[in-house]
Chain A
Amino acid sequence: MDVFSSLMDGFATALTPMNFLYAVIGVVLGTAVGVLPGLGPAMTVALLLPVTYALEPTSAFIMFAGIYYGGMYGGSTTSILLNTPGESSSVVTAIEGNKMAKAGRAAQALATAAIGSFVAGTIGTALLAVCAPIVVKFAVSLGAPSYMAIMVLALLAVTAVLGSSRLRGFASLGLGLAIGLVGMDAVTGQRRLTFGQPLLADGLDIVVVAVAIFAVGEALWVAAHLRRTPMQIIPVGQPWMGKEDWKRSWKPWLRGTALGFPFGALPAGGAEIPTFLSYITEKRLTKHPEEFGKGAIEGVAGPEAANNAAAAGTLTPMLALGLPTNATAAVMLAAFTSYGIQPGPQLFATEGPLVWALIASLFIGNFLLLIINLPLAPVWAKLLQLPRPYLYAGILFFATLGAYSVNLQAFDLAILLVVGALGFMMRRFGLPVLPLVLGVILGPRLEKQLRQTLQLSAGDPAGLWSEPIAVVIYIIVAVILIWPLLYKLWRRNRPAAAPVSVPVAAPVAAVTRNDGGHATNVPSANVPDRNGPPESKEQP
């Protein structure tokens, strides 16, 4: 079956009244959590996961897809009107977007963000539909060694490239891998890290871990920092754009899309890097350089397009390889597993209708988001007046309900609290949560591939690099790992060379850590004196 007819079948599934309803629920929820700083699509999907067990997997995934895209739209509203990114991927949007809003052009900023997101999301989803089957064709030829190498690359890249501090990233990854080890060894049946507790023999449920890290950890963190001076929100009417705005926006939209999709699709993807790159590109190419730093529409259009295209790109390795590169994709992957669906290259073959319905629902969701965001942005902004205690009480309620309903074991609640406390401590000490979540999800699968490889090669470690693709990937991994060293040497040899200039004296009073799940960016948001360039995002 070719791509087009599969996609049309997908639309047929996604447009049934029930599924359409779930798409609507998804985009509304997604926009809401996107608008609210501190809540993100990853947390929301994790919270809803246990609640959706009774649903058809297709309906659940249509809703999750809506939440995922919705978060991207909602984040830009907060960035523009409040100068605090609702999402880590909209940090850059805040730079120009908030300046525009302060200059009385909030309506245009919101419009270019929403329409740009729509354009980029649609093109990105189309690219996803085209690319994913190609990647699958390539991926099915991969053996265990190559597959393992790709997973190693994804884990290390997310940890080492995106993070502000490699040490913290690896600490987090180590915690994740350790949590992933808990339970019965699949090959020998030995118990690992169970401390004699029979309830741990099956391992920690990934849903409980995700809910604990994202929801409980965040709620505890917010509770510890409950009172903050309220910020000013810029009042805005109906978003709209003039002719000049359109003329200045469409090229940045397309360029942002072109940057965003490939970066999202890479194993070290994420939306942060392409949004920065898009901002820099637009700044260089603009015909109105004098407006940059004072509210240039290009600086909103480009990055917003880039982050939505990256969101679509991220789904390519997620669906085609079973390889998540941001927090939401990781939780969605966990969702596949909990529905008994095996993620990986065979997904398109075994669950074709579901995957295509999911992709079709992304198109639908994008369209819905444009409709609910363009006229209603001021209404969404009202959500920011919601007192946090109500919000987080609700989240904790759902988290507890969800964690209990996974296995109907009171023991899971204990795990929820312990891991939630861990999530709080990680936020306290600036550890990114994404490597942990990826470690928990990918760790066991990585181990499976490792054991398989070693069994095939009769315990000879040379089997790990017996495939050429694996060798190439390990070389890339090595380069990533020693890159800081190389960079230092290069700098020493050319002391005159100016440091990589990041021409954004970001007025964004927010520091983002590397996780797409953004759940962590709140603690550091609102810190008014943190005005460094966004790349020097070191946590205290």
Chain B
Amino acid sequence: MTIVVGYVPTPEGEAALTQAITEARKASTTLLVINSSKGDAPVDTRYAQEPEMQGIEGRLAAQGIDHVIKQPVRGHDAAAEVLDAAEEHKADLIVIGLRRRTPVGKLIMGSTSQRILLEADCPVLAVKASMAG
């Protein structure tokens, strides 16, 4: 029994994490935080650095949430990493952050969230940045 959250160091990712913490406490389950990078560029702003991850770790520990943090760099895209983790841990819920986009913007830009929404085998909770409490 786990909740998987796809984390990125952006307002959306932050909102997703906050929501996931709430859900994990409600259901008192394990929270699995995934922050991945394809690792094919020298710099990836969506890959959280050490201090940031430690901060999250501290936050989760302080709230007494059973948690696992993973930062895979295996050349898979973020959607694949989240879906993989969800399958592997038989997740009950996936929490992701969503950017505000117009339908046209959606058409042009590919999307990690879209793939997760379409391919996940469990319920997906999508959060927008402004919804964070």
Contact = CB atoms under 8 A, between A and B. Distances in A.
B43 A82 contact: yes
Contact of A384 (B39, B41, B73): B41
A528 B45 CA distance: 19
A385 B41 CA distance: 5
A230 B75 contact: no
Contacts of B73: 227-230
A388 B43 contact: no
Contacts of B40: 226-227, 387-389
B49 interface: yes
A497 interface: no
A389 B42 CA distance: 11
Interface in B1-53: 37-45, 47, 49
B38 A387 contact: yes
B2 to A, nearest CB: 25
Interface in A193-240: 226-233
B89 interface: no
A385 B44 contact: yes
Contacts of A36: 42
Given A82-B42, A384-B42, A388-B41, A227 B49 contact: no
A381 B49 CA distance: 18
A389 B41 CA distance: 8
A533 to B, nearest CB: 24
B43 A227 contact: no
Interface string A13-51: 000000000000000000000001100000000000000
A84 B42 CA distance: 10
A386 interface: yes
Contacts, number: 52
B39 A233 contact: no
Contact of A232 (B39, B49, B74, B75): B49
Interface string B72-115: 01110000000000000000000000000000000000000000
B39 A227 contact: yes
Interface string A398-435: 00000000000000000000000000000000000000
B74 A387 contact: no
By secondary structure, the A interface counts as loop
A385 B39 contact: no
Interface residues of A, number: 19
B44 A230 contact: yes
B42 A230 contact: yes
Question: What range describes how many residues of B lie at the interface?
Answer: 10 to 19
Contacts of B37: 229-230
- Interface-central residue, B40, B45, B73, by most chain A CB under 10 Å: B40
A384 B47 contact: no
Interface in A230-284: 230-233
Interface in A438-475: none
Interface string B46-66: 010100000000000000000
A227 B44 contact: no
A226 to B, nearest CB: 6
A226 B38 CA distance: 10
B10 to A, nearest CB: 14
Interface string A375-401: 000000100111111000000000000
B12 to A, nearest CB: 18
A381 B41 CA distance: 12
A136 to B, nearest CB: 42
A228 B49 CA distance: 14
Interface string A124-151: 0000000000000000000000000000
Nearest to B42: A384
B43 A230 contact: yes
Contacts of B44: 230, 385
Contacts of A388: 40-42
Nearest to A391: B41
A124 B40 CA distance: 38
B90 to A, nearest CB: 27
A226 B75 contact: yes
B43 A384 contact: yes
B101 to A, nearest CB: 21
A25 B38 CA distance: 31
A229 B39 contact: yes
B92 to A, nearest CB: 30
A380 to B, nearest CB: 12
A384 B41 CA distance: 7
Contacts of A232: 43, 49
Nearest to A388: B40
Interface string A56-72: 00000000000000000
Nearest to B46: A230
B42 A227 contact: no
- Interface-central residue, B41, B42, B74, by most chain A CB under 10 Å: B42
19 contacts: A36-B42, A226-B39, A226-B40, A227-B73, A227-B75, A228-B39, A230-B39, A230-B42, A230-B47, A230-B73, A232-B43, A232-B49, A233-B45, A384-B42, A384-B43, A385-B41, A385-B42, A388-B41, A388-B42
Interface of B: 37-45, 47, 49, 73-75
Given A227-B40, A227-B75, 18 more contacts: A36-B42, A226-B39, A226-B40, A226-B75, A228-B39, A228-B73, A229-B47, A230-B42, A230-B43, A230-B44, A233-B45, A381-B43, A384-B42, A385-B43, A385-B44, A388-B40, A388-B42, A389-B40
Interface of A: 36-37, 82, 84, 226-233, 381, 384-389
